[in-house]
Structure 1
């Protein structure tokens, strides 16, 4: 009797775990897994301007890695270039006019200085002549003391002429010096108005050059240069794409869920995203948006490529810190259905060990 009871107890100990295992398998396998495919995409930005521009210089090549703020391309706007050219012309004209006025005044001053030298030379020559006559007459008077009074009178006339010439020299040179002084004052004033005009024009040029530099194309973030849609010297219409720019790592996954499962995927759902070739590369993404119509699923993303299937587009955001490549094929699965269905996972649902690939522990990337 005791032996029979012991057999029944052992039977219960065997049946209860089996029933639990069958229940868990029924629960997990009874629900339909939301599994579909997609591909990772780098965020693409098309760089353009809202005005027509001319491409002046390109500093990058397609596929080149660049850092945020790096200069990619110099472009110019023709209207700004025309304004800069006009102002530069006005500046050159103002400087030329000032130079011409300065040269004219300097020429007049030089002419007056020559005139002063000539007049002084002429009068000084007359002064020397009279001084010579006075010296000769005074020498003769030493021997003719009897006519000394007459000699004194004649000598006095020469002295008067000498004094008159000296006053004439002083007056005429002073008049010329006054005229030269007035011209020097004008010469000093020539530079002042031109400096004001020059500074004003230079400030205008600096302003328009700064506006021109605002048109330059810089990298919005760290990333990769895509296609360059122009060449140096080419005129580009407003809103036309100049450069395609990609972030370094994919930040979006575009997938297509089968039409029979569209109700099981909603905006805001978290999905497990894994590489189709390297399943250990996994990350958690969040559904950003859903397509508004049923479309044909691309052949590459079908479970059976030869069989045409239809579904709904799903956009999933993933963190930039991920291992995927641009356009890499990935699998998307709901987190509830993402686990494996092995006996170990059912018996020990909280004791799963991370799978390893090539001896390396699987790395999971979580959405931040």
Structure 2
């Protein structure tokens, strides 16, 4: 028996769920408030197919990223979407970073991620301009255009008779016996199952649907520069720093993109709107709600120095360039030009804890994806399979709601 699945959100997770559910023979409706797919997090990231060395073994991020690395490459190959297996260098630039690098070795091994341990000369063999006292070479990291993946996912859903709507902002969600009713400003949709993949607005949609989510989305803007074309040869592939183990951000890094450009970034500053891509983007009601949330206040009070450093890096091109020069000393601020920023939807619990794993919560006839930052694009096909299992849409019906 077919289930009518209503999906809110046309980023890569929402469209992956739509593709999976339609392939399983279900009726699918996708509602996206923007005029196109992949406008926000999906279309404004580094385009990396992550391998998974960072994530706590046993977590959803660890298991779904490792599987997603394989399934995203297989999907792209099958569908004719270009991708490259570039590999990645995680570079320790000082002796004090080596213990954290060793921890990444342990996590890589536990997560089944292929890697090589390199000394300074070994690191320069891959990236001749890098400054490293030691490094990990992650062989299975790749790059792709995730917006192109989304377009193909949408095409596949449409070919199976799916009902896809852009410029369709949801204004209400109402439970009914056996399902939900979702209303936009000009239409109403009745379905058996709601899947909320609204990203930056996912907690708001959850509350609209009657769920009290265990965390609140706080938007963190990630600002990028690009290397000018004549300096792109400073970076052969992907160069990442050793990240702060206490934060879910990977640090400012250098990433060669599918078009040959080299992106530098992102930093992480609190945005003053859920879709606040510049300091000028301010929505007072959103900012007041987010910045006065007890969880944000508790988190910020413990990370004042880190937060101030990120703000300085945001406001000063010199500081941003200096951060990159720790990895590649030849980079100077004259080598950088501004690129489009992104905003990360980061869930924070009321006690100030940054949610460090994918967070998916359920209510009757509802599934809400409440924390799906990086590596969600990499893992999107596997997140979709996980959600379909939770909702009882998969043939084995391992978990979730009874079929209507």
Asked if TM exceeds 0.5, the reply is no
Q: Which has the higher contact order (CA 8 A, sep 6+)?
A: 1
Task: Specify the structure having the higher radius of gyration (Cα).
Answer: 1
With the length of structure 2 as denominator, give the TM-score of the two structures: 0.18
* TM-score, normalising length: structure 1: 0.20
